[in-house]
Amino acid sequence: MAYTKRENSYWLFSRELKDSTKLEGEEKRPYVITPLGTKVKRILFAGAITYKNSDDRMVKVTVADYIGSFYLTAFKTGFSSEMAEELDKFNVNDIVMVMGKVSSFKTDDGIFYFSVNPELIKSIGETERYFWGVRASYVAKRKILAITEAIKDDVATVDTLLKLGYSQDEAEDAIRAKEYYTDYDFKSYMDAISSINFDSPVMAVAHREMDIENPESFETEGNSSNQQNTGAPQTFNIEEFVLAYIKNNDSGPGCKYDDIIISCSNAGISREKVDEILNSLGSRGEIYEVSLKRYKPL
């Protein structure tokens, strides 16, 4: 069976997209090359809706993350009409998770504007928003550190960064960023991310709910004892997280086991727990192993 490769959905802050000035590839739907070297068409982000306008033609929504805003647009006619109807159900102050494709517009003055055509939007709580922020921050900081190493070495290559312990994607993105954004203020961007107060009262509640130091106490289906033994509501469901990751990162031939492990590790979930969940999802028919260590959703 032939599969159409689906673009990965990248976790990034709005500022990374807003500061982008480079496009690459096909004219109608090019890749955006961000200052951190991310080569992106599809993104996944979380935040609070701060503005909404709905008329007979389209729905426009602004979603604020921790350091800026994303702009969503869905038309009420054509192939996106169902998404427009779904988007119209949300209101200002709702906290949402969004996956969508990036659209770009360049003015005659060379200024870029970006919007997101949503493919998926769902209501979430502070726990999920917190998790997205922590992981997006981790990903961005790792990339900036790799870029810093690349800039220090005039002849740095992908292999140079791989030997320093960076991943293939981090290394490739760093070399790309060095090539396209020689004058970008990476320190300013690092400062913006570092200024996010993950220790604020709201963040602290979300952190307790996630119980990062004890991932085995995360809520899973049938785990009623954990719900009884904690004082905070357990809204983070590991099985849902793993299943969503597989759905969002299936590149056609299936989602790689190693990628699932890395993503879950960043969330504080052990390999043993992931293996248990993959077996559970497989036995219930939620996923299947299309080839050795590659999983697809059903």
pLDDT in tens, the chain (298 residues): 444 556 788 999 999 999 999 998 877 788 999 999 999 999 999 999 999 999 999 999 999 998 899 999 999 888 778 999 999 999 999 999 999 999 988 887 878 889 999 999 999 988 888 889 988 999 999 999 999 999 999 999 999 999 998 999 999 999 999 999 999 999 999 999 988 877 654 445 455 544 444 444 333 333 333 333 333 333 457 888 888 888 877 767 788 888 788 777 766 778 888 888 888 888 777 888 877 778 888 7
Give the domain CATH number at 64.
2.40.50.140
Neighbours of 128 (CB within 10 A): 23
- Print the domain residue range for 276: 238-297
Residue after which a domain boundary falls, among 99, 124, 149: 124
Tell me, yes or no, whether 120 and 17 share the same domain: yes
Distance of CA 153 to the CA centre of its chain: 30
User: Is 91 contained in some domain?
Assistant: yes
SS3 state at 13: coil
Report the alpha-carbon distance of residue 130 to residue 212 in Å, rounded. Answer: 12
Helix (H) or strand (E) holding 295: strand 294-297
User: Is 225 contained in some domain?
Assistant: no
Tell me, yes or no, whether 22 and 42 share the same domain: yes
Give the domain CATH number at 276.
1.10.10.10
Tell me, yes or no, whether 38 and 105 share the same domain: yes
User: Is 2 contained in some domain?
Assistant: no
Tell me, yes or no, whether 34 and 88 share the same domain: yes
Tell me, yes or no, whether 15 and 120 share the same domain: yes
Tell me, yes or no, whether 135 and 41 share the same domain: no
Q: Are 167 and 197 in contact (CB under 8 A)?
A: no
Q: What is the pTM of this model?
A: 0.66
User: Is 217 contained in some domain?
Assistant: no
Tell me, yes or no, whether 141 and 106 share the same domain: no
Q: How many domains does the chain have?
A: 3
